[in-house]
Structure 1
Amino acid sequence: MSRDPAAQPILPGATIGIFGGGQLGRMTAMAARAMGYRIQVLDPDPACPARFVVDGCIEASWDDSREAANLARGCDVVTLEIEQISLASMDAAANYAPVRPGRNTLAVIQDRIEQKDWLRKHGFPVGEYRAVRSLDELRDAIRALGGRCFCKSATGGYDGRGQGKVGFRPGADAEEEARGAWEALGERAGVAEKAVDLEREISVLVARSPSGEVKVYPAAWNHHENQILAWSVMPAPLTDAMAAEARQLAETIADTFQLEGILAVEMFVTTAGELLVNELAPRPHNSYHSSERACVTSQFEQLVRAVCDLPLGEVEIVQPCAIANLLGDVWLDADGSAREPHFDRALAVPGIRLHLYEKHRPRRGRKMGHLSAVGSTADEAVANVLKAQGQL
């Protein structure tokens, strides 16, 4: 799509505000600084990863609308790297600067029930699910969905938190599993999703500017362990027809939202050859960290271009690239005592780069960084990154 000639881009030298100072905000800030922008972030953690690479950091909670307004007062545009921002904070910031993506997009995505209902209402393919708001509703949903389900909290929760599953342990007591799943939801509203026969999980990242220009990245193939992304590679091994279908699906979702920014669309590829939308993320996505080395334009630079209404960068793959997440477990022995990973051994593997987020307190399951590796093929890139990970 061609750009609107009347559009007014926000040029380098301006200030970008980011709701959230985690690793995604950090890497976005680094890309923005390379382009000549100044960066302000808001985050409740005074030692958030972005603090060390930005011009200023406001320490405030996600629902502090007064401080959200203060962030926007000093910025030319505001974006986000986390979905937990309250709508009141979004509205307060929008009084002083454009907020991209906007509150209408976030209102749908930050609640999984709203998100699933929105996708279904607009005709996008989703697996069978039920909204649940009590233990009795969860019991009924499990029976209606055939017994094997993933249960996810409606708000918050990621990397396996706020999630439970039932029907996967032979001989398990059904009532005990239902109660366990309800406790995993925090005894609050959530969704129960019928388990699908899965071939693989993929994601597709879309960038869309206020002028309506759109770029869609090639799909990434994602491998999860304990409901946390373990590794991801671009390009995903898909047929041309499947790749085109995934691209069109993601682009249509972004257009339906009238997205301003970037959107990651997580999808299931079933053994029957169907594509089902799993979840949406209106921000940089873990599976596209590989875009820094695989693509002409990284997801982080693309977010800057999109929210500043600059021409979007090209997204073609230059070389296959894989990433492997480094969790806090790498820094801990089996007994919980601290250890220092052998980064020198990992970096001895050809084609490896190390990306650490300056998080100083490792915890099991906490994302502390990632490794990236290139290869002549996607399979070779995965083999390289896993070999390096094994050296740690």
Structure 2
Amino acid sequence: MMEKSDILALGGPKEVTLGVMGGGQLGRMFAHAAQQMGFFTAVLDPDANSPAGRISHHHIQTEYTDPAGLARLAEVSAAITTEFENVPAQALQQLAHTRPVAPSGAAVAIAQDRAAEKAHFVKCGVPCAPYAVIETAQQLAAVDANLLPGILKTARMGYDGKGQVRVKTPAELAAAWADLGGVSCVLEKMLPLALECSVIVARASDGSCVNLPVQRNLHRDGILVVTEVYEGNLPPALVERAVAAAKSIAKGVQYVGVLCVEFFVLDESHPASAGLGGLVVNEMAPRPHNSGHYSMDACDVSQFDLQVRTLAGLPLVQPRQHSPAIMLNLLGDIWPNEGRDGGVPDWAAVLALPGTHLHLYGKLDAKKGRKMGHLNITGATVAQVRATALEAARILGIAAF
């Protein structure tokens, strides 16, 4: 993505800056990875206290569509990425007129619209849950009854369980669509799930593609709580299929960057799973992902290292996981009184446990459901890692898993 002369300037007298749209925790961890490799970083984010903005060399404090802010980001950056999928795609497309941008605005636009996303999955030959697009009253009336019970999801701006309503009958479906404002939605048939998993791939501009090990995930209330990654966490045949599907999805849009693809693993003993092959794709995120945070301490190349490499045009190598790992998502719920009295979790007790790696995001306010950090647990054996993770969860007030 960059000129060879720029790459050779790493660690030398010439400043090479990588830019990122968004100042959240993913941008912060990207910036740390880039800085470790000798890059300068620039962040465009409207929040003066954004986690990434506070640790970057340049913080351009403007809205994401501000022409002057975008021009300034392009001026200081050799190449630009994004850290969240709801960054305006047109802003990425504008930046691409003068600078390499990865992922592209076109790829991000697909991930921003569930209807377009599902159409892309189908085009790539990757099975997803049976669904229907609902944009008009006529489409609502024509919904196949076999899609119920189902989950009605807004086509745009939904994440962490937001913009989703479970419906069992046509009447409930109509009421839910009205409550969502009659916006464009996707109705997905509710399937019997055995578990959830995700695959993170990194694809370069030359088409080379590598992947992290497949992650087994546990969600509660639509938010990721635990990720477990170790040999045998999932059947080998399923792992192979999930990786192949994720790479197909990336190739289908000529993706450049880090991409996370989330899957449902079905309970094949249930009749509703018939004909779906046991594995269906849920959604994709055009960026590093919460479920890949374990790679910072359990792999020789993290998802953020891969993001830097794809953006800078540096060689990709297949990551190697050197330790079994469990990641605990740290939400604002575990802060005493949500931090209002200055209280914090008992970090000393957590860090006294072997193999614990604490990552806090520098957010000033702890709120219910807000991602404040994560805890990676590594060890020599799966049994050791699970025992430590369960004890850490007990100390932090996270329900056992």
Give the TM-score, by structure 1 length: 0.90
Q: 1:199 aligns with which of 194, 198, 205?
A: 194
Q: What do the CA deviations read for 1:321-379 (whole angstroms, capped 9, x no partner)? A: 11111111112439986632111111122211211111111111111111110133445
Letter of the 1:81 partner, please give it: E
Structure 1 residues 147 and 340: CA distance shift in structure 2, 3 A: same
Letter of the 1:251 partner, please give it: K
Q: Does 1:179 align with 2:175?
A: yes
Q: 2:380 aligns with which of 348, 369, 376?
A: 376
The alpha-carbon deviation at position 15 of structure 1 amounts to: 0.6
Q: Does 1:18 align with 2:20?
A: yes
Structure 1 residues 355 and 278: CA distance shift in structure 2, 3 A: same
Give the secondary structure class of the aligned counterpart of 1:108.
helix
Q: Does 1:237 align with 2:233?
A: yes
Q: Report how many aligned residue pairs link the two structures.
A: 381
Give the secondary structure class of the aligned counterpart of 1:49.
coil
Q: Does 1:148 align with 2:149?
A: yes
Structure 1 residues 58 and 260: CA distance shift in structure 2, 3 A: same
The unaligned stretches of length 5 or more in structure 2 are 269-276, 397-401
Give the TM-score, by structure 2 length: 0.88
- Paired position in structure 2 for 1:260: 256
1:315-354 correspondence runs (5 A): 315-333=319-337, 339-354=343-358
Distance in 1 separating the partners of 2:4 and 2:133 = 41
Confirm or deny: 8 A CA contact 1:211 1:309 kept in the other structure. no
Letter of the 1:133 partner, please give it: E
Distance in 1 separating the partners of 2:341 and 2:166 = 31
Letter of the 2:82 partner, please give it: L
The alpha-carbon deviation at position 151 of structure 1 amounts to: 2.1
- Paired position in structure 1 for 2:293: 289
Give the secondary structure class of the aligned counterpart of 2:300.
coil
The unaligned stretches of length 5 or more in structure 1 are 168-172
Give the secondary structure class of the aligned counterpart of 1:10.
helix
Q: What do the CA deviations read for 1:114-164 (whole angstroms, capped 9, x no partner)? A: 1111211332211111112257745754x6344221222211121122222
Structure 1 residues 386 and 177: CA distance shift in structure 2, 3 A: farther
Mean alpha-carbon deviation: is it higher for 296-305 or for 145-154?
Answer: 145-154
Distance in 2 separating the partners of 1:112 and 1:260 = 20
Structure 1 residues 182 and 276: CA distance shift in structure 2, 3 A: farther
Give the secondary structure class of the aligned counterpart of 2:64.
coil
Structure 1 residues 344 and 97: CA distance shift in structure 2, 3 A: same
Confirm or deny: 8 A CA contact 2:16 2:78 kept in the other structure. yes
Structure 1 residues 267 and 18: CA distance shift in structure 2, 3 A: same
Letter of the 1:352 partner, please give it: T
Q: What do the CA deviations read for 1:182-224 (whole angstroms, capped 9, x no partner)? A: 53x4542121111111111111111111122211121000000
- State, as a whole percentage, how many aligned pairs show the same letter: 38
Distance in 2 separating the partners of 1:23 and 1:271 = 34
Distance in 2 separating the partners of 1:134 and 1:60 = 36
Give the secondary structure class of the aligned counterpart of 2:47.
coil
Distance in 2 separating the partners of 1:335 and 1:344 = 17
Confirm or deny: 8 A CA contact 1:145 1:193 kept in the other structure. no
- Paired position in structure 1 for 2:62: 60
Give the secondary structure class of the aligned counterpart of 2:252.
helix
Mean alpha-carbon deviation: is it higher for 151-160 or for 353-362?
Answer: 151-160
Confirm or deny: 8 A CA contact 2:45 2:53 kept in the other structure. no
Q: 1:270 aligns with which of 266, 282, 291?
A: 266
The alpha-carbon deviation at position 52 of structure 1 amounts to: 2.0
1:87-166 correspondence runs (5 A): 87-134=89-136, 137-138=139-140, 141=143, 144-166=145-167
Distance in 1 separating the partners of 2:326 and 2:133 = 35
Confirm or deny: 8 A CA contact 2:115 2:186 kept in the other structure. yes
Mean alpha-carbon deviation: is it higher for 255-264 or for 229-238?
Answer: 229-238
Confirm or deny: 8 A CA contact 1:129 1:145 kept in the other structure. no
Structure 1 residues 359 and 145: CA distance shift in structure 2, 3 A: farther
Letter of the 2:199 partner, please give it: V
Q: Does 1:208 align with 2:214?
A: no
Confirm or deny: 8 A CA contact 1:325 1:367 kept in the other structure. yes
Mean alpha-carbon deviation: is it higher for 259-268 or for 60-69?
Answer: 60-69
Confirm or deny: 8 A CA contact 1:163 1:181 kept in the other structure. no
Structure 1 residues 337 and 213: CA distance shift in structure 2, 3 A: same
Distance in 2 separating the partners of 1:181 and 1:364 = 27
The alpha-carbon deviation at position 94 of structure 1 amounts to: 1.1
Distance in 1 separating the partners of 2:384 and 2:189 = 34
Distance in 2 separating the partners of 1:241 and 1:176 = 38
Mean alpha-carbon deviation: is it higher for 250-259 or for 226-235?
Answer: 250-259
Q: What do the CA deviations read for 1:31-50 (whole angstroms, capped 9, x no partner)? A: 11000000001112221111
Mean alpha-carbon deviation: is it higher for 285-294 or for 264-273?
Answer: 264-273
Distance in 1 separating the partners of 2:141 and 2:26 = 37
Distance in 1 separating the partners of 2:339 and 2:141 = 38
Confirm or deny: 8 A CA contact 1:69 1:89 kept in the other structure. no
